[in-house]
Amino acid sequence: MFKELDPILHSQLRLAVMSLLISVKEAEFTFLKEKTNSTAGNLSVQINKLKDAGYIDVTKQFSNNYPQTICKVTKKGIEAFEAYVKALQSYMNPNGQ
């Protein structure tokens, strides 16, 4: 029996953002934009979806008079990511279950 893939994570940009945030403690919006080669508008929308799902925390602050958005994966986000990877592995290797 295949596990259902989390629809929040099963999207290219959101999955890319989560994979990046899993690898670091926290990252600025500009880091995510640069690594994913996405537009600011689309990235902003996808970050809000991840935030609404409780998978990431978003902090807005000012640094040297410039606005700064810092994203950090939450415990719920880590659990969802791990479950997603396990589900993916079961899809790709059904005999290994």
Partner 1 sequence: MNENETPLSGDESMKLINEMIGKAKQSYVSKGIASMVWGALIVICSLLTWAQVQYKFSLGFDIWLLVFFAVVPQVYFSIKEKKQRTFVGHNETIMAYLWTAFGICILILTIYGNKVGANSSASLFMMLYGIPTFVTGGVFKFKPMIWGGLICWGLSVGSMFTPFTTDMLFMAACGLFAWLLPGIICWNNYKKQQSCNV
Note the residues at the interface with partner 1 (CB under 8 A): 10-13, 15-16, 19-20, 22-28, 30-31, 34-39, 42, 85, 88, 91-92
CA distance 22 to 64: 27
- 22-46 b/e with 16+ CB inside 10 Å = b? eeeeebebeebbeebebeeeebeeb
Cβ proximity to partner 1, 39 vs 76, nearer residue: 39
Which strand (E) or helix (H) includes residue 18?
helix 12-23
As measured in angstroms, the least distance from the Cβ of 76 to partner 1 is: 18
CA distance 41 to 29: 11
Cβ proximity to partner 1, 23 vs 48, nearer residue: 23
Cβ proximity to partner 1, 19 vs 74, nearer residue: 19
As measured in angstroms, the least distance from the Cβ of 54 to partner 1 is: 19
